[in-house]
Amino acid sequence: MLEQLFGSKTRVFLLRLFLANQNDAYFVRELTRKIGAQINAVRNELENLVSMGIIEAVEHSDKAGSPDNEGRSAQQRKYYRVNTESLLYPELRALFAKSGILLERNFVQKLEKAGTISYLALMGHFVGENESPTDVFIVGKLDRAKVTLAVRSFERSVGKEINYTVLTPGEFRTRKDLTDRFLYSILDSKKVVVVDKLADRVPVAE
């Protein structure tokens, strides 16, 4: 939907990344890795977004030998970040927040195609809790390779790393019986329960 509206998938990915990380600045090659796009496409879209005042370029002095320094000596380097003073900033945030709901629905649908899900909860990133032990918690019999593909695809779309935990029903029962600290930290976290077919119901945090 947004690709049709903005005319470029790369532009959409960049905007979503910047809007989700408004306090962060990125250099070009870092952006290409995060959204999985060609460097020329990223450069072109950055130029367009800077010209519109949505993104701003800032100069920063890198230290020689920095892992992200691409083999260059210390020098001024250009980074990009969202311009929160732009008149379009509030409208873009609202628009991308609404589109994020559709992305989450598509993400859940992909997870459901990975196998049989007994329990699925979204937490952490999805509910604005940065200290949550995981972002996606699944109990079921799943093709874990398909789960990984779904997660990686979603990460590229939202521009954030998504942590996930998958347990079989047997693993869940064993950990629950042993009062596993990690499991109970998940069960006690704020969450949105999408699927709950467990015979032994999972408590939902208030």
Q: What is the pLDDT of residue 160?
A: 75
Portion of the chain with pLDDT greater than 70, in percent: 83
Work out the average pLDDT over 175-197. Answer: 90
Sorting pLDDT into bands at 50, 70 and 90, what band is 77? Answer: confident
Sorting pLDDT into bands at 50, 70 and 90, what band is 199? Answer: low
Sorting pLDDT into bands at 50, 70 and 90, what band is 69? Answer: low
pLDDT tens readout for residues 149-167: 999 888 877 777 889 999 9
Sorting pLDDT into bands at 50, 70 and 90, what band is 75? Answer: low
Sorting pLDDT into bands at 50, 70 and 90, what band is 178? Answer: very high
Portion of the chain with pLDDT greater than 90, in percent: 38
Q: How far apart are CA 110 and CA 147, in angstroms?
A: 8
Structure tokens at 162: 């998504």
Sorting pLDDT into bands at 50, 70 and 90, what band is 139? Answer: very high
CB atoms within 10 A of CB 181: 10
Instruction: Check: CB of residue 139 under 8 Å from CB of residue 118.
Output: yes
Q: Which amino acid is at 62?
A: D
Is the whole model's pTM more than 0.85, yes or no? no
Work out whether strand 164-167 and strand 136-142 pair parallel, antiparallel, or are unpaired. Answer: parallel
Whole-number average pLDDT of the chain: 82
Which uninterrupted H or E stretch holds 111? helix 89-112
Work out the average pLDDT over 53-64. Answer: 77
